[in-house]
Structure formats: C-alpha cells, structure tokens
Amino acid sequence: MRFKHSASVMALALLITPLAACGGDDSSGGGGADNPAFDEGVDSRGPITYVQGKDNTGVVAELIAKWNAEHPDEKVTVKEQTVDANQQHDDLVRNLQAENPDYDVMSVDLIWTAEFAAKGWLQPLEDLKLDGVLQSVTDSGNYNGTQYAAPQTSDGGMLYYRTDLVKTPPKTWDEMMGMCDIAEQNNIDCYAGQFAKYEGLTVNASEAINGAGGQIVDGSGKPTVDSPESITGLDQLVKAYEDGNIPKAGVTYKEEESRLSFQNGKLLFMRQWPYAYNLAQTEGSSKIKGKFDVAPLPGTDGVGASSLGGHNNAVSAFSDNKATAFDFVNWIMEEEQQRLYVTKGGNAPVLEALYTDPAFSKDYAYLPTLLESINNAVPRPITPFYPAVTKAITDNAYAAMRGEKSTEDAIKDMQAAMEAASDTQ
Amino acid sequence: MSSQSTSSAVALEEGTKEPKQRKRKRGAGDEDRELIDPHQARRAYMLIAPTIVLLAIVIGYPVLRAVWMSFQQDAQLDPQTGFFQEGGFAGFENYTHWLLQRCGDTACPVGTTAAGFWEVVWITVFFTIVTVSLELVLGFAFAMIMNGKYRGRGLVRASILIPWAIPTAVTAKLWYFIFATNGIANSLLNTDILWFSDKWAARTAIIVADVWKTTPFMALLILAGLQLISADIYEAAKVDGASAWQRFTSITLPLVKPALMVALLFRTLDVLRMYDLPAIMTGGGAGDGNDTTTLSILVVEEVRSAFNSAAALSTLTFLFVFLVAFVFIKFLGVNAVEGGTSGGRKR
C-alpha cells in the first residue's frame, strides 16, 4: 500500500514536470522586425473584435452599429474591459502574450504603444489615411520609426480658472502663484492637479518638468531627466505644496477629487482634462456654472507643456483578419466618426479642422484652447519599460512633494531608477 | 478519570503491538491502517485520483512553473532592433535582485520595486503582529460573550458574524469611504487627518478595517474551543473556591489553547499574504508612497513589468510564509498539544 501510494504520487510528479518545462519559451518577445506573425492574415477579411475599456458614454456602441450596418460581412464585436487603466493594460498583456487571435483591434493608451510594439505584439500599420490628423497624435503611435498605432481620440490638460475672481488667466507659473492671495482672500485653495501616487502624478510631474524645459527621456528612450531644468520644474510643485498654495489634501487628489473641489467652488485654479468642462456647466450640484473658463497650462516662461492623453487603435499581430482591421482603423479617423466622438463621447477629436468648427463653438467652447494645449503637448516618456519608468517618476515626485527628500535628490534618484529599469529588465 | 482509563487502554494496546511494529517508524494512523482492506484502499486512491490530478494542475503546475520562471532572465531589449529578445538562464540573479537589492552590478536605486523590498517585508510583519494580537484579544472577548447562555444569544451570534460575511472588496470600499478626507471618520473625530496619505494614519485605517473584518473568524474558532469545555469542571472549581480570574487562567485558557493556536496559525498566514484590503484602500501608497505595500501587492506591481522577477518574489513570499507556518507547527503547535489538554494522550 505504501509503495502504491508513493508510486501514484511519483507518477503525478512526473506528469507535472514536463508541463512546467514545455510552457517555458512563450514569454515575451516575438523576435524582431522579421517577426513571422507580421506576414500572416494581412489580406484576410472577416469579422473582428474591438477591445477597449469601459464605454461610459455609449459612443462606441453607436459607432459599431454604424460600421456593422455598412459592412455586414465584416462585423465588429466589442469587448469591453474594466474602467481601471492598469487592469486594461494587464488584460491586453495576458491576451497578447498568449497570442490570442480573438483580439483584433485594441484601444491602447499612448503609453503602452512602445511596450507592446517592442514585444512584437503589434502589427506595423501601412497606408494610413492621416491627412488632417494632428501631428503630435500621429507621432504618439510611432515606435522606432514604424507606425504601430493609429490615432483614435486625443486629450490634453488645461488650466481651469474662476472668471469671477480672476480677470485674465496667468501665462506663467510664477504669475499664477502670485495670484494665490486672491484665493486666500476668498478662503479657498489656490491650485490643484492630480498628485496622488498613481499615473496622474506622472502626468502632472511630466508637465511641470517639460514646462520648464526639462526632458524625461530622449528620442531613443534613454533617461535624461537629470538636468537643472527638471529640478526647476519639479521644484515648482514642491514649493507650492510647502507654501500651502497647493492644499495639504492635494496629495490625495485624483481626477475626481480635484474636479469636485473646483466644482464646489473651493479651488481657484485647477489642472484638469476636458471632461470636467461640461460637467461643471451642466451638473445640478455645480456651484460655478458660468463662472469659469479654460486656458492653456502655464509654463515657466510661457505656455506650458501639457501631457498628451487620449487613445490610439492598434492591430494585433496575431489577428486573423488584418485587412478588415486596417480598414476599421482608417474608418475611425474619418470626419463623421470623429464628430460622433465629440458630440456623443465628449472626447477630443484627432482631426485639426474640427477644433475650430463653428458647429461646436457653443457646446464645446473649450475646443480652441484644447487645440493650443495639444499643439504644445509633450507625450509622457516613450519607452518600452514604461511601468518601471512611471514608478520611478511617481515614487520620487511624491516623496519630493511631501518634503521627504530634496528636489535634487528626487531627480537624481529618478534618473538612477529609470536607468536601472532599462538595464535589468 | 474517564480520560485516564482511555490512555491506559491505549498504552496496553501499544504494548502488545510493540514487537510487530518495531521494524517500522510509527506514524499517526497506524492502528487504523492495519484494519483497512487492501482492495478498499486501492478503490479509495482511485476515487480521489481525479481530485489529486485537478489539484496538481490548478495548484501544483503554477507553483512549479513559477519556481522554474524565477530562474529565467526577463526579456532584454535589443537596442539595434528595438524589440525584446528572450532572456536565458539567470541562476539566482532574480533572487539576489530582491534579497540583496542588486540591479545588475549596482545597488537598486530608490524608485525601483526592489529598493523597497525589506521595508515591505517589515510592513507585512508589522501588520501581522498588530492585527493578530488585536484580533486575539477581541475575538476571545466575543467568544466568551457568544458562549454565554441568555436570551437573544442567536441574534448576538449572528450580528457578531456579519463583518466576516461581507466580501473583502466591499469591506475595503466601505472603510475607504469612511476614512476619506471628508468622510465620517473625520467628522466624528472632528479632525482633518489625511487617512490615506499620512503614513501611520493609513496603517491605522487598514488595521482597523482588517480587525473589524476578521475578529468574527477568530471568535468563531475560539468559541468552538470554549464549547468543548464541560461545565462540570467549572462547577468543581467553584466548589473548590476558585475566583473568576483563577477559573479563567487555570481552566479556560489551557483548555482552549489548541483551538486558539489553530486560529492564530490561520490568521497569521492569512495576513502575511494579505492583498485585497490594502490594495483597494490605499493601493499600497501613503507616506513616501509605499508605506502600506504588502508582499503580495509588491508581486502584483512587479508582474506589470517583469514576470520572471515577480515569480522569484512570489517564491520568496511562499518560502517566508512556509517558514512561519513551520515554526508554528514545530515549536508552538507541539507545545500546545502536550501542555495539558484533556487527559494528555501522550505518545
């Protein structure tokens, strides 16, 4: 009995070991520019699946219905992910790593393009119809000279300010800090962005650093954040927090906390994405209807460098019907679809002409300011090691703001951590 | 008295069996094993074989694969092509990355996941010690309350158990709203504490939420131990003139110790691998940004950038928890059993 018992255990152990070994070589890495997956399915047509995060406005459902009516043989099915950006990223990684052919077109955040492209998971896109599309948005889908993602929607940060308390918006950071006494007189906070320890802090810290003339990574992805300009930039946030111009609770603010503070009239200046504009004008609980406006972000010597937001469409290298996918990706960039993104989705379009379209001037008055913001936008670091790079920036910027280390040390550690991430991975 | 006759009967049995069994080391179920029919045993193994196979696939394979992955290097970026290339065998590099904080040839700078490893271990141990101690004391108190005989006992028992019944994710969100800057906690205490940004406030918040959630579990296990103590012993002690405190320390505590140790072991292992509560409440942040990160949160964070390194970290976590369990069973568990339970079935 004892012998039989251990025999069956040994048999099971022998069963498992080859399983462990055989799963071994499918971890990241397709191989390179001659990745065989790139050639497969390029001319096939058929039904495809479009993957994106949660659709809060219903715009995707309407777009897909339109496409399906026009292309009954190449229907698109939507797969909706969660609302959390990190979970969306992890879901895409899992499916792409398993080379799942079910994911054909994916809505990718700009910061994931380099990572996915470097792992050989994205199909290079040729023959894209890019006339009229904003250049900075097109560039965001480019990695190493090849276009891996096509523009879908854009986004940029703007400065929201109270028109009843401030007549003209500040053009530089020092000007804005000088206006903080107005906030004090009215017993409200002066300035807030998104400074909690999450991706939003990378956005805000990058804007501060880029706005002062610093550069986080250079064109080839090498870390270059250690410079006097970066220190000046980050110092702006650090000093403002020290002086109380950024409220103490500011380090817990994500998008919603800062938006609610501004909407309840408790904040004079807010750095925020465009979605807050219509909410502040139309939401019942808003205390500032008609009492605010938007302006480009203030930099050190002039217009600041907003972080480029938005999403791009990428085609999976393992898709079976790539011809349909290419057509779909081009279709999204057409004017009719972009108009729907503005009216139904409240997103920023990628076609330059739509920003100054008279049809939008009443309900979307922020569009011209947003165009200026996007034209001056600097994308967040384009590097295949983005998760580690964003952690380096967030950890050190957060520590600097809370006064746990000096700004110089924070920038130096940021540089060292980014270099370590690019080497050891 | 009855227990003494049982133990002498056992001794007699063992005495007669001595010569036959001297050849083989004696294990726990030996007398039982001799009585089972070999055919029945074979059938038994076949019946549980599907379960074993399923467990091997669902538990055994991932654990072995993770260990195998931890000895592989993560994919390296080829600067010429711009694509990632397969990493090869890495030896113990992934482990030294965490334990010694080596990033290649240098020490890992602040802002990398490895730099905070020992801090995270300390935070996890801190949470374990504090929450388990608090739950022990409170759980014992609740168990004594639930053990009493009075009207409405069923209602009291049910209401004490409610926190344990709520899913952890819901509990975490509940306490997240309570401890928000403009939430109830600050209103009631008339303070303006940034519960999720200040280091110790965030840790306190997580400890409060965890103790609220799991004290019922401890109380249940301890209650099970309390109910095994027969009322006769208490009556005899009362007759002998023992005070309430003496009854507690000389009767209740020793007799409930086995159940208590089991509850302690479960809870300790649970907290050591805690992920959901701090992840949902603070995301591992607060203080310098990592002051409520537990080992499991660190693993999930690392998975986002480097699978094989994360596999090494999760193997290290597994070994750490295994070590703690081993210490419990070998040194604390054995003492508890022999230290004076009912009759003392000494072997």
Give the domains, in start order, of chain B with CATH numbers: 35-70 (no CATH), 116-338 (1.10.3720.10)
A391–B111: do the CB atoms touch at under 8 Å? yes
Whether chain A has a CB inside 8 Å of the CB on B108: the answer is: yes
The answer to whether A198 contacts B196, with C-beta atoms less than 8 Å apart, is no
DSSP A354: G
CA A9 to chain centre: 50
Place of tokens 């990378």: A202
pLDDT at A18 over 80: no
pLDDT of residue B31: 60
Provide the chain A residues 54-113 that lie in CB contact (below 8 A) with chain B. 86, 89-90
Contact A119 B307 (CB under 8 A): no
**B39 contact partners, CB below 8 Å, separation of at least 6:** none
CB atoms under 10 Å from CB of B52, counted, come to 14
Chain A contact set for B56 (CB, 8 A): 12, 15-16
Per-residue pLDDT, A24? 44
Sheet holding A149-156, edge to edge: A76-80, A48-52, A105-109, A308-315, A149-156
Q: Band the pLDDT of A170: cuts 50, 70, 90.
A: very high
Structure tokens at B264: 């302690």
Backbone dihedral angles phi then psi of residue B291, each to the nearest 5 degrees: -85, 0
Q: Which of residues 44-73 of B touch A (CB under 8 A)?
A: 45, 49, 52-53, 56-57, 60-61, 64-65, 68-69, 72
pLDDT at B74 (0 to 100): 82
What tokens appear for B282 in the block? 């603070």
B 237-256 residues with CB < 8 A to A = none
Q: Do B194 and A251 touch (CB under 8 A)?
A: yes
User: CB A252 to CB B290 under 8 A?
Assistant: no
Give the rounded percent of residues in chain A with a pLDDT score beyond 90. Answer: 52
pLDDT, average across residues A264-291: 89
Q: What is the DSSP string of A197-222?
A: SSHHHHHHHHHHHHHTT--SB-TTS-
Give residue A220's pLDDT.
78
A23 touches chain B (CB under 8 A): yes
Protein fold of A158-305+385-424 = D-Maltodextrin-Binding Protein; domain 2 (3.40.190)
Closest in A17, A117, A252 to B194, CB measured: A252
Q: What is the model's pLDDT at position B23? A: 53
Q: Does B193 touch chain A (CB under 8 A)?
A: no
Give the count of Cβ contacts less than 8 A between chain A and B: 163
Please write the tens of the pLDDT for every residue from A56-94. Answer: 788 899 999 999 999 999 999 999 998 878 888 889 999
Q: Is the pLDDT of residue A172 over 50?
A: yes
Instruction: Verify whether the Cβ–Cβ distance A19 to B289 is below 8 Å.
Output: no
The 10 Å Cβ neighbour count of residue B107 is 14
- pLDDT by position in tens, chain B (length 347): 444 444 444 444 444 444 444 455 555 555 666 667 888 889 999 999 999 999 999 999 999 999 999 998 888 887 777 788 877 888 888 898 899 888 877 788 877 888 889 999 999 999 999 999 999 999 999 999 898 888 988 899 899 999 999 999 999 999 999 998 788 999 999 888 888 888 899 999 999 999 999 999 999 999 999 998 888 998 999 898 888 888 888 888 889 988 888 889 989 999 999 999 999 998 877 777 788 999 999 998 888 888 888 999 999 999 999 999 998 888 876 444 444 344 444 44
Give the residue among B121, B182, B186, B132 at the shortest CA–CA distance from B323.
B121
| B283–A198 C-beta distance less than 8 A | yes
Cα of A31 to nearest chain B Cα, Å: 6
Q: Which residues of A touch B41 (CB under 8 A)?
A: 1, 4
Contact between residue B277 and residue B210 where contact means Cβ atoms under 8 Å apart? yes
A144: contact with B, CB 8 A cutoff: yes
Which of A8-22, A102-116, A399-413 is least confident?
A8-22
Q: Does A19 touch chain B (CB under 8 A)?
A: yes
| SS3 state at B212 | helix
Q: A28 near A119, Cβ under 8 Å?
A: yes
| SS3 state of residue B229 | coil
Q: How far is B51 from chain A (nearest CA, A)?
A: 12
**Is pLDDT of A284 > 90?**
no
**pLDDT band, very low/low/confident/very high, at A13 (cuts 50, 70, 90):** low
Per-residue pLDDT tens over the stretch A291-328? 999 999 999 888 889 999 899 999 999 999 999 999 99
Q: Say yes or no for a CB contact (<8 Å) between B111 and A120.
A: no
Contact B56 A17 (CB under 8 A): no
Query: In the β-sheet with A158-162, what is the strand arrangement from edge to edge?
Result: A189-192, A267-272, A158-162, A292-295
Class of domain A34-155+309-375: alpha beta
- Nearest-CA residue of chain B relative to A92? B304
Return the pLDDT at A15. Answer: 55
Q: Which residues pair with A315 in a beta bridge?
A: A105
Nearest CA in chain A to B24: A2
Query: What is residue B33's predicted lDDT score, i.e. its pLDDT?
Result: 61
User: Greater confidence, A340 or A424?
Assistant: A340
First to last CA, chain B: 19
Mutate which of B33, B305, B313, B315 to disrupt the A interface (most A C-beta within 10 Å)? Answer: B305
**Cα A186 to Cα A79, A257, A289, distances in angstroms:** 48, 20, 18
A308 phi and psi angles, rounded to 5 deg: -80, 125
**Chain B residues closer than 8 Å to A403 by CB:** none
Burial A367-384 (b: 16+ CB within 10 A, else e): bebbbbbbbbbbbbbbbb
Q: Where in chain A is the domain with CATH 3.40.190.10?
A: 34-155+309-375, 158-305+385-424
